[in-house]
Every structure is written in C-alpha cells, then in structure tokens.
C-alpha cells in the first residue's frame, strides 16, 4: 500500500466526462489498496473565463479580488470530482488550499508557499478517505486568499506531496512524458525514462513546455521525485529526479527549439567602460527580455553588440535604443533582423564529455545550416539559425547525438 499524490491539470478535468475519467483512475488506485491525494486545477478554460469577466468590469481589477475570483475555479472542480467519486462508492472529500493547510506569503496573484500544515489532510487519510485538494491556491497567516501564478497547481501538487511524505507523486497531464525533442518536429523523438531537475529546468527555459518551472525548482529544493505522465492512458511517463551517476553517460538529454526570435546589433560603439551598461539598461527599463548577448571589437576599434529577443519585443527595443544611439555619437548604428530560430541542446553529461559543441556545429555544417550566434552554459549549448531551417536543425542534431528512436 502506497500513498500517492496525483495532480490533474485543467484539460484532464475539462468536462464532466473527463472528470469521470479522472474519478475512474483514482478508483483504480484505491482498488489496488493505495491511498490517494489528488491535487487538481480548475476545469480547462475556466480561469481564463473568470479573468475575462473581471476585465469586462475593470481594466485594472485589484489583485486581491482576482485571487478571490480565480481561486473559485479550483473550488468548483474539487467538489465536482469528489461528487463523481462518491457516486462510484469512493469516500472522497475536497479540501480548499486553506483547508489543506497551504500557507502562503508574498503578493496577491503570485503567492509563495511558505509551509504546509497537512493536519486535516492527514486526518482524512487516517480515516482511509480520498482527499481532493484545490491546486493554485493558499492562504496567508492573516487569512487572505492567494493564488500561485498561472499553472500553479503543479506547485501545489509537489508541495503537498512533500508535506504528506507521499511514496509517489504523479503529474498527470495531456503530454505523456518528457521527450528528447518535440515529436511534432522530430518524428524520431523518444520519451525519456528519466531526467534530472536541472535538465528539465534548462529545457523549459528554452521552449520545452511540460510544467511550471517554479514547481520543478521546488521539487529540486525539497527532493520530491515525481513522474510526468498522461492522464489518458497507462503508459509509463518520465521520472524527474535528482541526478545520479548513470545519467552522465548520456551526453545530450534533449533538444529544444524556439521560434520567432529577432536579433538586434548595435555597431560603432566606443570601446569605453559603461557602454554595455547603458545599452542594456535602456532595454531593461523598457522591459525587453534579452536572451543571448554577443559583443566584440571590430577592426576600426569600435565595439558591436548583438542580442536576441522575442520578435514581439523588437519594436519596443528599437524605440528604447533610439536615445541611446544618439548619445553614443556619430559612428553608432543599429541593425535588426527577425525570422531567427534558436536551437538548444541540454544534458548534464556535457560536464564530463568534451567535444559536444564541436559535434553539434559539425552536424549543422554538414546539413548546410549556417549558425548565427552561440551561447553556452554548464549543461546547455544554444545557437541561432534561420527560422525556416530550425526544424531541420533540430532533426540533424537529434540524430548526431544518437537520440533517434
Ligand atoms: N487554473 C490555474 C491556471 O489555469 C492553475 C493551473 O491550472 O495550474 O493557471
Ligand atoms: Mg490550467
């Protein structure tokens, strides 16, 4: 007999039929003799609908009221799932964030979980009942409702699993695990049996959408091992866990792509202290999110800086840079280019293997794909290529690192 925490997302509880499907899945765990705490999201689309309703009344509703409003989505779904389970003869009870003892601090609409006091949940479990906990919400010490940021039910589930010392934590979702690449792009992508927290976090930062990153960070911090798997079938998913030695034998765990990137290059910058600071400072002030940065000195002794960003930020970046360019003087100029894609390889094996970048660049070169910018971190290498070559780039690199099924 095991204690299992399962998280079901909005799509998985998106209709009455799907709620019944989830109830059946929970029932089958109960039939095996396991205890279950399910943490669930609002029915798919409900959170967005509630936001839209508020926006009809005000452009700027207070965050306090948004928390009260949005948390109601999960309050509906926990009750509906409990009703479905009761109808099947399973003794299930719902618990809101407060009832589950999820204590938060920080600001409205982006609360932080400080601690969980699972007294009531443990009491229900001791009576052998199934507990359905509202994700995405908690309460401050002084009784204010908080939500945890979009996608926050993942965080609730990891935190609840940690607090009740679950034997197993499962994130049941509409993808059936973490893949070596997006299977829609790379047909030969494989589902990974396991991945480390850091690798999943790096992949998420470069476009792989599996779950909320904060929840993976939380899992890493508290050592919560979990499985990402489908809520629609019984295939094994992907275990997300601390890294261990055997993991390093795989050089690259996965590749990820991002589209719609743009590059801005500023030329003719005097080679003096403070220049990079004033350029990036202007972009930061305009809330332009910069990604890769490359700078070098041209033969005329003037510096050039290139950086990438999402194409939707390009206009804002250009207006923010206008006054900076004027300050830089007569030699300064700006070039922009949209239609760029970014390809990243991630793997903790990079730390102990050499020649990883060379292998990636050779594979791209052999395929006639030109590399624009390059950036690296301890477990990641990213390059930019023409956006219309990004899928081909992902496929050749996937093959080069023996990731193909
Ligand atoms: N219902 C919330 C959202 O849509 C929380 C979640 O689904 O995890 O963001
Ligand atoms: Mg959701």
Ligand 1 neighbour 254 (Cβ under 6 A) = no
Nearest ligand 1 atom to alpha carbon 44: 4
DSSP state of 251: S
For residue 41, how far is its CA from the centre of ligand 1 (angstroms)? 5
Protein residue with its CA nearest to atom 5 in ligand 1: 151
Is residue 7 within 8 A of residue 172, CB to CB? The reply is yes
User: What does the pLDDT read at residue 326?
Assistant: 87
For residue 403, how far is its CA from the centre of ligand 2 (angstroms)? 31
Task: Give per-residue pLDDT as tens, 338-368.
Answer: 999 999 999 999 999 999 999 999 999 999 9
* Domain ranges across the chain: 3-174, 255-400
User: What does the pLDDT read at residue 126?
Assistant: 98
CATH architecture of 3-174: 3-Layer(aba) Sandwich (3.40)
Pairing between strand 226-230 and 238-241? Answer: antiparallel
- The CATH T-level fold of domain 255-400 is VC0802-like (3.30.2130)
Ligand 1 neighbour 41 (Cβ under 6 A) = yes
Q: Which residues of the chain have pLDDT under 50?
A: none
Ligand 1 neighbour 237 (Cβ under 6 A) = no
Task: Give per-residue pLDDT as tens, 102-149.
Answer: 999 999 999 999 999 999 999 999 999 999 999 999 999 999 999 999
Strands (E), 54-196: 92-95, 102-107, 110-116, 130-134, 137-140, 145-147, 168-173, 194-196
Nearest ligand 1 atom to alpha carbon 42: 1
Ligand 1 pocket mutation pick from 51, 67, 136, 146 by most atoms within 8 angstroms of CB = 136
162 class by beta-carbon count within 10 Å (0-12 exposed, 13-18 middle, 19+ buried): buried
As given in the structure block, the two tokens for residue 316 are 């804002």
314-328 and 275-285 helices, crossing angle to 10°: 150
**First-to-last C-alpha distance (Å) of the chain:** 35
State how far Cα 256 lies from the chain centre. Answer: 13
- Name 170's bridge partners: 6, 227
Give me the residues near ligand 2 (ion), CB cutoff below 5 Å.
10, 41
Protein residue with its CA nearest to atom 6 in ligand 1: 151
Closest ligand (CA of 154): 1
Pairing between strand 380-386 and 333-346? Answer: antiparallel
For residue 135, how far is its CA from the centre of ligand 1 (angstroms)? 8
User: What does the pLDDT read at residue 254?
Assistant: 97
């Amino acid at each position: 007999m095991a204690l299992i925490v399962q998280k079901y997302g909005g799509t998985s509880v998106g209709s009455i039929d799907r709620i019944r499907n989830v109830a059946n899945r929970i029932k089958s765990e109960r039939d095996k003799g396991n205890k279950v705490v399910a943490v669930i999201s609002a029915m798919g689309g409900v959170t967005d609908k509630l936001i839209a309703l508020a926006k009809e009344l005000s452009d700027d509703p207070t965050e306090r009221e948004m928390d009260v409003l949005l948390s109601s989505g999960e309050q509906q779904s926990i009750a509906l799932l409990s009703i479905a389970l009761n109808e099947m003869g399973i003794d299930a009870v719902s618990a809101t964030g407060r009832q589950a003892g999820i204590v938060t601090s920080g600001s409205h609409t982006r609360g932080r979980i400080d601690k969980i006091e699972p007294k009531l949940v443990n009491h229900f479990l001791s009576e052998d009942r199934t507990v359905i906990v509202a994700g995405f919400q908690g309460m401050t010490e002084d009784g204010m409702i908080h939500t945890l940021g979009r996608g926050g039910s993942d965080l609730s589930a990891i935190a609840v699993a940690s607090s009740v010392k679950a034997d197993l934590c499962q994130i049941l979702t509409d993808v059936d695990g973490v893949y070596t690449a997006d299977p829609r792009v790379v047909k030969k992508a494989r589902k990974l049996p396991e991945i480390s927290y850091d690798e999943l976090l790096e992949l998420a930062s470069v476009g792989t959408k599996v779950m909320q990153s904060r929840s993976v960070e939380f899992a890493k911090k508290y050592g919560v091992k979990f499985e990402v798997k489908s809520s629609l079938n019984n295939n094994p998913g992907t275990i997300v866990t601390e890294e261990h030695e055997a993991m390093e034998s795989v050089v690259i765990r996965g590749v990820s792509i991002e589209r719609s990137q743009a590059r801005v290059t500023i030329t003719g910058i005097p080679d003096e202290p403070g220049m990079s600071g004033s350029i990036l400072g202007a972009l930061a002030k305009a809330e332009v999110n910069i990604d890769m940065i490359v700078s070098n000195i041209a033969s005329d002794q003037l510096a050039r800086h290139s950086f990438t960003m999402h194409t939707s930020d390009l206009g804002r970046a250009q207006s923010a840079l206008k006054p900076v360019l004027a300050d830089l003087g007569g030699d300064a100029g700006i070039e922009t280019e949209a239609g760029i894609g970014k390809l990243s390889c991630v793997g903790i094996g990079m730390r102990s293997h050499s020649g990883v970048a060379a292998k990636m660049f050779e594979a791209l070169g052999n395929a006639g794909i030109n590399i624009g910018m390059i950036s690296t971190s301890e477990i990641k290498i990213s390059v930019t290529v023409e956006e219309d070559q990004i899928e081909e780039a992902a496929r050749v690199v996937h093959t080069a690192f023996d990731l193909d099924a």
